[in-house]
Amino acid sequence: MRRILLVEPSYKNKYPPLGLMKISAYHKLKGDFVQFVKGCDPALRRNRWDRIYIATLFTFYWKITLDTIRYYLPSVTSPKNIFVGGVMATLLANEIEKETNVKVIRGLIDQPGMLDPGDRHIVDALTPDYSILTDINYEYGLEDAYLGYATRGCPNNCAFCAVNRIEPEFVHYLPLKKQVKAIEEIYGPKQDLVLMDNNVLASENFEEIIKDILDLGFYRGAKFNGRLRRVDFNQG
């Protein structure tokens, strides 16, 4: 059993770290021990970890992210046992590697074997592990929600936007119902629905996506636990 530490730098954010939640699901499938932490924790730093994953977000979090990577370097036997992924990591991969010598994952983990050569799982397709959120005291604001995607990528190519570098292929439709049901089966019903899509309006299947959302119980005026349910279209 490997010991895996998942780290999100201590920047403020309202969306739970979906990538780390899927990586957690992957490692638990492999029988590994997984611990999640937000920021720099001296006790966890003193431990030894077989692998540490560090999430990244916006490029203006460069300093806090690099400080976090450097903080955990003594906790692994080699910098190559620290895997850094996410938005900033994809955009500034060469710079991060040059500064820290860690392994940078560019874009999505959407092919088998990207974390362990020869493994058959596709991490990006796994049901996120919500249980890691109880490892920390931080409140994201949107954690009582089904987190999912109805599309991936974006068909546009705006010069200022990073989406095409992170998700280069536009996928018009992903089965939202399947994702929500899988989360509900393991972690119980959630209050809200958060779509992490970049540009859901560009989908040829937009009407089908809206039907899926309605069928899942997110219609106008829908309530759960006495509160109105929300659908958060992250960026679309």
Residues that bind ligand SF4 (CB under 6 A): 154, 156-158, 161, 163, 198-199
User: Which residue from 150, 74, 94, 49 is spatially nearest to 84, judged by alpha carbons?
Assistant: 94
* Smallest distance, ligand SF4 to C-beta of residue 199, A: 5
Q: Toward ligand SF4, which CB reaches closer, 24 or 199?
A: 199
* Smallest distance, ligand SF4 to C-beta of residue 203, A: 12
User: What is d(CA 147, CA 58) in angstroms, rounded to the nearest whole number?
Assistant: 20
User: What is d(CA 202, CA 77) in angstroms, rounded to the nearest whole number?
Assistant: 46
Residue 85 and residue 69 in contact, taking contact as beta carbons nearer than 8 Å: no
* Smallest distance, ligand SF4 to C-beta of residue 198, A: 4
Q: Toward ligand SF4, which CB reaches closer, 68 or 198?
A: 198
Single-letter amino acid code for the residue at 108: L
* Smallest distance, ligand SF4 to C-beta of residue 157, A: 6
Q: Which residues pair with 195 in a beta bridge?
A: 148, 233
User: What is d(CA 65, CA 57) in angstroms, rounded to the nearest whole number?
Assistant: 9
Q: Toward ligand SF4, which CB reaches closer, 134 or 157?
A: 157
Cα torsion at 65, 165, 82, 117 (round to 10°)? 170
H/E element, 63:
helix 62-72
Q: Which residues pair with 37 in a beta bridge?
A: 7
Q: Toward ligand SF4, which CB reaches closer, 145 or 166?
A: 166
Q: Toward ligand SF4, which CB reaches closer, 92 or 133?
A: 92
Q: Toward ligand SF4, which CB reaches closer, 158 or 186?
A: 158
* Smallest distance, ligand SF4 to C-beta of residue 169, A: 13
For the beta carbon of residue 83, count every other beta carbon within 10 angstroms: 20
Residues 6+ apart with CB under 8 A from 23: 4, 6, 53, 109, 115, 123
Give the up-direction half-sphere exposure of residue 29: CA atoms within 13 A in the CB hemisphere: 16
Q: Toward ligand SF4, which CB reaches closer, 90 or 199?
A: 199
* Smallest distance, ligand SF4 to C-beta of residue 21, A: 23
* Smallest distance, ligand SF4 to C-beta of residue 208, A: 20
3-state secondary structure of 217: coil
